[in-house]
Amino acid sequence: MIKKDVVVGIGEVLWDLLPQGKQIGGAPANFAYHVSQFGLNGCVVSAVGNDTLGLEIIENFKDKGLNCIIERISYPTGTVQVEIDDAGIPKYEITKYVAWDNIPYTAELEALAKNTKAVCFGSLAQRSAVSRNTINRFLDTIPRNEDSLVVFDINFRQDYYDKDIICKSMERCNILKINDEELVELGNMFGYEDIDFQDKCWILLEKYKLKTLILTCGINGSYVFTPGKVYFQATPCVKVEDTVGAGDSFTAAFVSCLLKGKSVEDAHLAAVQTSAFVCSVKGAMPVLPLQYVK
């Protein structure tokens, strides 16, 4: 049975093949899992293969109590080879032609869309026409009102993106999430090379009529731009184990707090604290301490 006011992460779900072993990953899954930890109706939408890796993902989500619509199809379950450098920064080698490239649009998915309060999607899962079409149909179906949140979290991975997909995605969202490196790439794409980073953000906010633009800058803090106001939070100093999934936890905490009625400033602080904690432990889906999810 589809719940009301669901918060959806739609796109890739996969195994991150890390030096210490495999862990479930994919930004939509990370997002939905952390949203659920904040007490909301999180749900991940994706596809896995008819293989052992796919079954393990579904069983893992059941064990975590994470709601999901995961179709099992005749493509292999996605994997990503992840190398972590000395600073804890991951480098990804993403397998092509996998299940999450072929997420089907089903009657169950349409029913979910009609009960969706917020959704987070990225550019990576749109590398395939099949999943891109499913994501766009889902976005077209969700109810749109003053309180609904549509988050586009840019993922510039390898060569799996282009200007047209990025533009259309920004037109569909009302919250844009981007990091400092992605902002440079986006600036180059749009001819904003010589413009100050904050001015780039103001231009994007206005051009795409966004409610919010989130810019994360690693150890250099993060910014939240809203019409007429910008917020800044310093990055907490923690011993970094790895940064896999930290950005997804930031987005999940921020969205969860807004949906709970908290201010942008409070949501920003919660997001910073949550992502710092995720950096301090291994893997993208740790259990969050209770003080973070109140």
pLDDT in tens, 136-183: 999 999 999 989 999 999 988 767 788 999 999 999 999 999 999 999
**Cα end-to-end span (Å), the chain:** 27
d(CA 294, CA 95): 37
Beta bridge partners of 25: 14
Task: Assess whether pLDDT exceeds 80 at residue 88.
Answer: no
- Report, as an integer, the average pLDDT of 224-243: 94
287 or 54, greater pLDDT: 54
Q: Indicate whether 47 pLDDT > 90.
A: yes
Three-state SS for 132? helix
Is CATH 3.30.930.10 the classification given to domain 6-286? Answer: no
For range 245-273, the mean pLDDT: 96
**In one letter, which amino acid is 293?**
V
- Output the pLDDT for position 294: 77
Q: What is the pLDDT of residue 233?
A: 98
pLDDT, residue 155, reads: 86
Task: Answer yes or no: is pLDDT of 100 > 60.
Answer: yes
Computed over every residue of the chain, the mean pLDDT equals: 93
Over residues 66-87, mean pLDDT: 90
Virtual torsion, Cα 65, 71, 74, 77, nearest 10 deg:
-40
Q: How confident is the model at residue 92 (pLDDT cuts 50, 70, 90)?
A: confident
- At residue 283, the pLDDT reads 81
Q: Cα–Cα distance between 209 and 258 in angstroms, integer? A: 19
> In the structure, what pLDDT confidence band is assigned to residue 244 with cuts at 50, 70 and 90?
confident
Give the 3-state secondary structure of residue 82.
strand
User: Between 78 and 159, whose confidence is greater?
Assistant: 78
Over the stretch 14-35, which tens digit does the pLDDT of each residue have? 998 877 788 898 999 999 999 9
Residue 1 has pLDDT above 60, yes or no: no
Residue 112: the pLDDT is 97
pLDDT for residue 242? 80
Read off the tokens for 188.
Answer: 């180059």
The β-bridge relationship of strands 21-25 and 41-49 is unpaired
